[in-house]
Structure 1
């Protein structure tokens, strides 16, 4: 990989490369923006670029340093993410212990804090003090989707770098570059899935998507066997792998597609599914699709809570649809 592997973030790339070219790399950066905008990937590319043995604006990916950073094995580049729900003080102490000696000559140490908003005030202040008194040249990259949740004392010492959400077509090209062929690259572009967490190929993805299409037809028609479908092997396999979010993402995409077809708005990128979509569009309305999508959104958020059973949440989701129950956002703690 290299900066050029992320063409949807051209402005970010230009900004970071200008800092390298002018030898004006700051001590701290705050990468912020929506989920799925490659903030973590770009942080690693930046770490490679400033330490690449070829001294290029774009990492070479061939030298030992680039390879070690990419594989997560470089001793002077550390990624910290929440342990449970927060970044703990102990993790910062481990960082201090790991970086207590001088780094190799010419090496800029990099610490990447993913989900940096999940850091309490005391932990943030300890991190700040450590970063302001480095033994060797050091760079901190904080990553967040909620930049205003970062402690002000930390935020004020970072250069803000905003990541914009790319279009579906731009994301589809990225997925294709990662080995996912049409039309599933376009479907995935509309999902919340990320490259580093994904191991399925195009054929497997399309198989699952078509299963979801069949399930959707049962849900729309409120057939009682819709809840039995949850016990099918493909569904149970994804539940066991904790990939229920993929099912819900696929269902949301499909319902949105059907809703648009119902008013005569086709999508050429989904042409492989036009027959099933048109059939379902004739049997439903935009209003019905909208209500179902709202239930999907609520369930999608509930599934993210580790204390809740995915199996039970999906069963409750089907029951609510069959009973035409109103959407209950209070389940998420909203008023």
Structure 2
């Protein structure tokens, strides 16, 4: 890969290349923006280009240094991500210990902290030791979705770099590069997932999506058997694998598509599913789809809370979708 592979972030790349060209690379950067905006990928490319043996504005991907960094095996380039739910103090201390030793000649040490907002305040303060006493041979890149989710003391020591959200078509191409074929690459482009989060191929993903379509037919027609679907093997497997969010995202995407079909708007990227979509659209309205999507969004947010049961939330969603009146989840104990 190279910088040129991320055309959606043209301004970011130009900014970073200008810093390299003018020999004004900062000691700390804060990359922030939407989840699927290539922040981590561009951080890796940046680590390569500041260390590339050919000294270009784009990594060559051929020299031993570029190849080692890309494979994650270079001793002077470290990626830290949450261990469980947080970046732990021990991870930062291990980094400090590792960087006590002399780097390879001519190397700029790079530490990339993915999901940097998931540090407790004491961990962030330990990290400050890297940022307050920078050396000419170290670069820290913090990655987050919201700029202000990083504590001010850390944020003030970094140059902030805003990433924009790529289009669905750009994201679809990215998924196809990872082996996810049409139409599922386009479906996944509408979700907030990284490739590493989904250990399924195109066929497996399409099978789940078609299950969701069948489930939606029961939900739209308010059939009592909709709740029985939750007990089916495919759904139980998704619950056990903690992938209920994927089911809900697929349901949201499908309802959005059906909503468009109710007003005779189609989508050429979803042509494989158009007949099923039209059949469901005949039995609902755009307004009804909007109300269903609202309930799915509420459930999607609640699923992220570890103290709540995924299965109970899905069962409650089905019950709410079968009601005509808007529901108040707070009255059900889901505040």
Q: TM-score range by the shorter chain?
A: over 0.9
Counterpart in 1 of 2:223?
223
- Give the equivalent residue in structure 2 for 1:235: 235
Residue 332 of structure 1 and its aligned partner are, at CA, apart by 12
Contact 2:191 2:249 in 1 (8 A): yes
CA contact (8 A) 1:109 1:139 kept: yes
Q: Give the direction of change, closer, same or farther, for the CA distance of 1:253–1:23 in structure 2 (3 Å limit).
A: same
Mapped contact 2:37–2:163 kept (Cα < 8 A): yes
Measured in 1, the distance between the counterparts of 2:135 and 2:152 equals: 25
Answer with 241-250 or 75-84: which moved more.
Answer: 75-84
Relative to 1, partners in 2 of residues 1:237 and 1:303: Cα closer, same or farther, differing over 3 Å? same
Q: How does 1:1-335 map to 2 (within 5 A)?
A: 1-134=1-134, 137-324=137-324, 326-328=326-328, 330=330
Asked if 2 retains the 8 angstrom alpha-carbon contact of 1:6 and 1:174, the reply is: no
Normalising to structure 2: TM-score of the pair? 0.92
1:72-121 C-alpha deviation (Å, 9 max, x unpaired): 22221122223344333332222111111221111111111122222333
Using structure 1 for the length normalisation, give the TM-score: 0.92
Counterpart secondary structure, 1:16: helix
Using a 3 Å threshold, how does the CA distance of structure 1 residues 325 and 138 change in structure 2: closer, same or farther? farther
Structure 2: distance between partners of 1:333 and 1:149: 28
Give structure 2 stretches of 5+ with no counterpart: none
| RMSD (Å) for aligned C-alpha atoms | 2.2
From the superposition, tell whether residues 235 and 155 of structure 1 become closer, same or farther in structure 2 (CA, over 3 Å): same
Specify whether residues 331 and 50 from structure 1 end up closer, same or farther in structure 2 by C-alpha distance, changes over 3 A only.
farther
Asked if the contact 2:35–2:145 (Cα under 8 Å) also holds between the matched residues in 1, the reply is yes
> Given that residues 176 and 182 in structure 2 are in contact (C-alpha distance below 8 angstroms), is that contact kept between their aligned partners in structure 1?
yes
Which SS does the other structure have where 2:140 is aligned?
Answer: strand
Q: Is the 8 A contact 1:81 1:113 kept in 2?
A: yes
Shift of the 332–93 alpha-carbon distance from structure 1 to 2, 3 Å rule, reads farther
| Distance in 2, Cα, partners of 1:331 & 1:255 | 26
Give the aligned length. Answer: 335
161-170 or 18-27: bigger deviation: 18-27
